């Protein structure tokens, strides 16, 4: 009986550890249960649509970020191959390379803070793989509130 109790206790503990915890209200929305990684929808063929960033309807609700003092991490879809990401700054269009490791793209905090310090309120982001699949995004920065919203097209 003692052996059965120990086995049952171990099985219940293993089950409890394997079940994901229910997130609280402060987890940050659709970001993988509060891990700080925002999961993007499926990537699409970009083709010649690069000139239409911001001209259509976003594919998902805007991702909002209230803290520009930390990196923003975005998980690319598995359909997207090895990708590169470039941020095009405001009106000048100056390109800034963004790091992509495996399927994780990062908007570094120092880039976000630099954009705010330079008075840039809109930037475009292009994420593309070798097969022209990826994402077109527009980053809106609220300079006064130091917050951001990301639209995925």
What are the distances in angstroms from CA 95 to CA 38, 75, 85, 87, 128? 23, 21, 10, 6, 14
- At 124, list the tokens: 């475009």
Please tell me the predicted confidence (pLDDT) of residue 114: 94
pLDDT tens, the chain, 153 aa long: 565 555 555 555 554 444 433 333 333 334 444 456 777 888 888 766 555 566 677 887 889 999 899 999 999 998 899 999 999 998 888 999 999 999 999 999 999 999 999 999 999 999 999 999 999 999 999 999 999 999 998
Who contacts 140 (Cβ-Cβ below 8 Å, separation ≥6)? 62, 121, 122, 148, 149, 150, 151
Q: Which sequence spans correspond to the domains of the chain?
A: 30-152
DSSP bridge pairs for 74: 38, 105
Please tell me the predicted confidence (pLDDT) of residue 3: 58
Q: Class of the 30-152 domain?
A: mainly beta
Neighbouring C-beta atoms of residue 83, cutoff 10 Å:
20
């Amino acid at each position: 009986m003692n052996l059965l109790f120990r086995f049952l206790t171990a099985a219940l503990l293993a089950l409890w550890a394997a079940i994901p915890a229910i997130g609280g209200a402060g987890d940050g929305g659709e970001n993988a249960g509060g891990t700080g990684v925002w999961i993007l929808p499926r990537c699409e063929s970009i083709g010649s649509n690069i000139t239409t960033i911001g001209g259509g309807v976003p594919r998902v609700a805007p991702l909002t970020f209230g803290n520009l003092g930390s990196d923003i991490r975005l998980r690319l879809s598995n359909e997207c191959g090895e990708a590169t990401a470039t941020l095009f700054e405001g009106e000048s269009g100056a390109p800034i390379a963004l790091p992509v490791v495996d399927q994780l793209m990062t908007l570094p905090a120092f880039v976000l803070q630099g954009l705010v310090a330079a008075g840039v309120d809109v930037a475009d982001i292009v994420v593309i793989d070798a097969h022209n699949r990826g994402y077109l995004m527009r980053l809106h920065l609220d300079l006064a509130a130091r917050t951001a919203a990301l639209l995925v097209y």
